A and B are shown apart, each in its own frame.
Chain A
Amino acid sequence: MPYTANQPPRAESNDELRARIPGWGADLDPKDRPSVPRERFDPGATGAHWEFPDRQEEKWPRERSIEHKFLTPVFGTSSPPKGLSGVLRKFAYATYSEGRAAHWLILLGADRVDAIESHLKSFLTTRPDNPITETGVLSEFHRNGFSSRFGRKRVDLHHQWIDPILVAGPWIAAVCAIVWGARALAKR
């Protein structure tokens, strides 16, 4: 009870805990904890045999945070920027530091644009996006979708219904827009 000075009594003694839990207290001494202290200067410990790493070849102007002095010597080369989303991404990196909300909001917006651009582009390929297989919803049938959810007081059910709307909504809106556009054209 915090209203008086004493430490509350322990429910189990060390010996009881040791008997019940294999390894109890093995790292009681902070010296045995590998991340204590947090910083430990030890350049020999990492396996690096360079003072500064060789530089990886830059095959396209690699977007980077303006909080960096230069392009880091090593970087990922997945999915180079392209299309409108690429323009937005390059703009966000070149213009705003990580400290600015605009940086992240533009990047998030570019992600949505990227998804739309990529879906549209996939329809010009032999492998168009398939929302049924790509969302994995069919696993509802063989992974107990019903019994995993109901009768279990799961609070995430309060918002899971939003997911199909987020996923299917834009598709339905696109179909409606096309139908509406076609009708408008036909009426002319």
Chain B
Amino acid sequence: MRAMVYRGPYKVRVEEKDIPPIEHPNDAIVRVTLAAICGSDLHLYHGMMPDTRVGMTFGHEFIGVVEQVGSSVQNLKVGDRVMVPFNIYCGSCYFCVRGLYSNCHNVNPNATAVGGIYGYSHTCGGYDGGQSEYVRVPFADVGPSIIPDWLDDEDALMCTDALSTGYFGAQLGDISEGDTVAVFGAGPVGLFAAKSAWLMGAGRVIVIDQLEYRLEKARSFAQAETRNFAEYDDIVVEMKKTTDYLGADVVIDAVGAEADGNFTQHVTAAKFKLQGGSPIALNWAIDSVRKGGTVSVMGAYGPMFSAVKFGDAMNKGLTLRMNQAPVKRQWPRLFEHIQNGYLKPNDIVTHRIPLEHIAEGYHMFSAKLDNCIKPVIVPNA
């Protein structure tokens, strides 16, 4: 089969690999029909995530058709069209039975601090991902769902991560009626978080980024106010001014480890890997939220330390909430919102790229060329 393969920082190519075999009785093998590149993949691509091995196939956002099932699989059969959450999880451990699907203890030998994620380094379990023609899907009775007939393929694909994550991020904000919600980052996660904040009753939603084309999307798709942080000497002061010096009630970090806006922080983290992640957006969030407010962290950070302004968070009495999204928990309610027309997930898809051209897809998405917001990968284009 054809599969994307990591060749070292900033380098990927498509190689011929063996179709993955069933390795466990509850495995399924899925033929991928659509995959996507996520902002999280950029952290791997840039070599920031420890134990990212040459030869690994990335990709944790994909949908496909069941090609083969293991002997204990009951809920899926060959030929089913499935959407697969980015989390790999067993459904039976201490954490899974409490709904913490992203924190499963039975799928990642490499780390206890992280659950299992497809194609996301050995630190997340060492599984090959879905930017390929076939992928092994562990716990086929637990993770995947059959795609409802009424749901478009690209919408289903957005549910496997970006939409579910944005929606989850808004929930962690504990938004109350009329709250002012600020979202740092206008990538797929931030756009969906901003959109979701309205569903939860926000009175005002402000999205902050530096890419004007993405802010334009935040205005049209997420009906939000926007601020381009590159136009302000100090975005924190602007956030105070625009809230009459109170600060936002809720701030969502949808940027993560490669945050920009401070050369030293960015370069030490993203280029020289001396921090687990660049905490610029997280620090802006801590400083922009009101005292007693909530910061919801959806942006991903590596396992090493980062220079987070913890004292400000402490002195302001903030609630910091965060996690990898437990994706499947969001689906029943998200399906209702999609059917009601409140959400049209694939509105943010900007590019559809054949798997064979994935190296150029990574470069474009990483360098933010061609007004790219969300690139979708088509294995058999």
Binding site for B on A (CB under 8 A): 1-3, 8, 10-12, 14, 17, 20-28, 30, 32-36, 38-43, 45-54, 56-57, 62-65, 67-68, 71-79, 85, 89, 93, 98, 101, 104-105, 107-108, 110-112, 114-115, 117-119, 122, 129-131, 133-140, 143-145, 148-149, 152-156, 158-160, 162-163, 166-167
Query: Number of contacts between A and B (CB, 8 Å)?
Result: 318
Size of chain B's interface in residues, with CB distance under 8 A?
115
- Contact, CB under 8 Å: A34 / B333: yes
Set B55, B96, B230, B302: member contacting A78, Cβ < 8 A: B55
Cβ-defined partner of A114 (8 Å) among B54, B75, B266, B271: B54
Residues of chain A contacted by B127 (CB below 8 angstroms): 76-78
Q: Which of B154-162, B184-192, B243-251 contacts A (4 or more CB under 8 A)?
A: B243-251
- Indicate if B368 sits at the interface (CB-CB under 8 A): yes
Residues of the B chain whose Cβ atoms lie less than 8 Å from the Cβ of A130: 13
Residues of B within 8 A of A32 (CB): 333
B9: interface (CB < 8 Å):
yes
**What are 17 A-B residue pairs whose CB atoms fall within 8 Å in the complex?**
A23-B199, A35-B329, A52-B92, A54-B24, A74-B24, A76-B125, A77-B127, A79-B54, A98-B113, A104-B50, A107-B51, A108-B50, A111-B47, A111-B53, A118-B54, A136-B12, A136-B361
CB-based nearest A residue for B90: A53
Report whether A65 and B111 are in contact in the complex, using a CB–CB cutoff of 8 Å: yes
- Among listed B60-68, B134-142, B281-289, B307-315, interface-contacting one: B134-142
Contact of A64 among B7, B110, B113, B362 (CB under 8 A): B110
Instruction: Find chain A residues with CB under 8 A from B112 CB.
Output: 65, 67-68, 98
On whether A166 and B9 interact (CB within 8 A), knowing A1-B244, A17-B198, the answer reads yes
- In-complex Cβ contact of B72 among A54, A93, A101 (8 A): A54
Tell which of B26, B91, B107 touches A72, judged by Cβ atoms closer than 8 Å: B107
* Interface assignment of B371: CB less than 8 Å from any CB of chain A: yes
Please name the residue on chain B nearest to A154 by beta carbon. Answer: B210
Complex-state Cα separation, A117 to B55, whole angstroms: 12
B275 nearest CB across to chain A (Å): 11
In angstroms, how far is the closest chain A Cβ from the Cβ of B84? 13
Inter-chain contacts of A38 with B (CB < 8 A): 99-100
In B224-262, the 8 Å CB interface with A consists of 228-231, 243-247, 260-261
Residues in A neighbouring B174, C-beta threshold 8 A: 30
CB < 8 Å neighbour of B203 from A12, A63, A107, A119? A12
> Is B128 engaged at the interface, CB distance under 8 Å to the other chain?
yes
A39 to B95, CA, bound (A): 9
Chain B residues near A28: list those with CB within 8 A. Answer: 177, 200-201
Given contacts A41-B97, A78-B127, A111-B51, 11 further A-B contacts (CB under 8 A): A1-B245, A2-B247, A35-B329, A48-B141, A49-B74, A53-B106, A53-B139, A65-B111, A72-B107, A74-B90, A136-B364
Q: Is the CB of A134 within 8 A of B304?
A: no
B91-125 CB mask vs A (1 if < 8 Å, else 0) is 11000111111000111111111001000001101
The 6 closest A-B CB pairs, nearest first, are: A23-B342, A48-B91, A76-B126, A46-B91, A136-B363, A115-B8
B77 in the interface (beta carbon within 8 A): no
Nearest-Cβ distance from residue A107 to partner chain B, whole angstroms:
4
List residues of chain A with CB within 8 A of the CB of B203.
10-12, 17
